[in-house]
């Protein structure tokens, strides 16, 4: 099993920064992917973007398999949503947003293009939870948190709660 990374949490500035396109998939890229996968599984989560572990490359990993089943890791490098439609409301949480979940409305279907960990082009059509997961992780790569999709009031309430947690020396990072 690969080494795990520390998951950065809001308000870390790297989470609000757009990630850079990966130009070259090399050994360091593969190590990052393996570490991200180990981190996601250890958390546990269903997706993780590179900037959540402090790396500003357009890489995400995901696995929607139930935790007690065989793992089915997927990797997307330089993913872009090329089409979306429909509407779904889903309660989202985030490994980088401690102690908060909220209903978020997103397209229920997305078509995403990118490359896999070996540089092969991939096109993914996703619906429902799978579509939500991809949009959530691609948002991360664009410096957007799911907090940006909730009401101003809910966001303000969370920020107030977070300030109190931080004053008390509460969680700033997970793992």
Q: Which residues are identified as catalytic? A: 137
Residue of higher predicted confidence among 68 and 154: 154
pLDDT at 68 over 80: no
Residue-level pLDDT at 173: 44
Residue-level pLDDT at 65: 86
Residue-level pLDDT at 175: 34
Residue-level pLDDT at 13: 93
Question: What tens digit of pLDDT does each residue of 106-164 get?
Answer: 999 999 999 999 999 999 999 999 999 999 999 999 999 999 999 888 888 888 888 88
Going by pLDDT thresholds of 50, 70 and 90, the confidence category of residue 170 is low
- Which residues lie closer than 8 Å to 18 by C-beta, 6 or more apart? 56, 141, 142, 143
Alpha-carbon 174 to chain mean position: 14
| CATH of span 7-174 | 3.90.45.10
Question: What tens digit of pLDDT does each residue of 3-49 get?
Answer: 999 999 998 999 999 999 999 999 999 999 999 999 999 999 999 99
Helix (H, G, I), strand (E, B) or coil at 166: helix
> Which residue ranges make up each domain of the chain?
7-174
For residue 102, how many C-alpha atoms fall within 13 Å in the half-sphere facing its CB?
A: 19
For residue 28, count other CB atoms closer than 10 A to its CB. 11
Residue-level pLDDT at 1: 60
> Structure tokens of 70?
């065989």
């Amino acid at each position: 099993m690969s080494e795990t990374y520390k998951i950065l949490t809001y308000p870390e500035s790297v989470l609000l920064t757009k990630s850079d396109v990966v130009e070259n998939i090399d050994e360091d890229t593969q190590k990052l992917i393996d570490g991200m996968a180990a981190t996601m599984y250890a958390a546990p989560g269903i997706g993780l973007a590179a900037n959540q572990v402090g790396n500003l490359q357009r890489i995400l990993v995901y696995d929607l398999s139930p935790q007690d089943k065989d793992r089915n890791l997927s990797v997307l490098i330089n993913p872009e949503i090329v089409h979306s439609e429909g509407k779904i409301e889903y309660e989202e949480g985030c490994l980088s947003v401690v102690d908060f979940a909220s209903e978020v409305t997103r397209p229920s279907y997305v078509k995403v293009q990118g490359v896999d960990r070996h540089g092969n082009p991939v096109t993914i059509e996703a619906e429902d939870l799978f579509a939500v997961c991809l949009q959530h992780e691609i948002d991360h790569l664009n410096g957007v948190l799911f907090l940006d999709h909730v009401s101003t009031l809910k966001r303000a309430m969370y920020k107030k709660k977070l300030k109190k947690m931080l004053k008390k020396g509460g969680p700033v990072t997970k793992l």
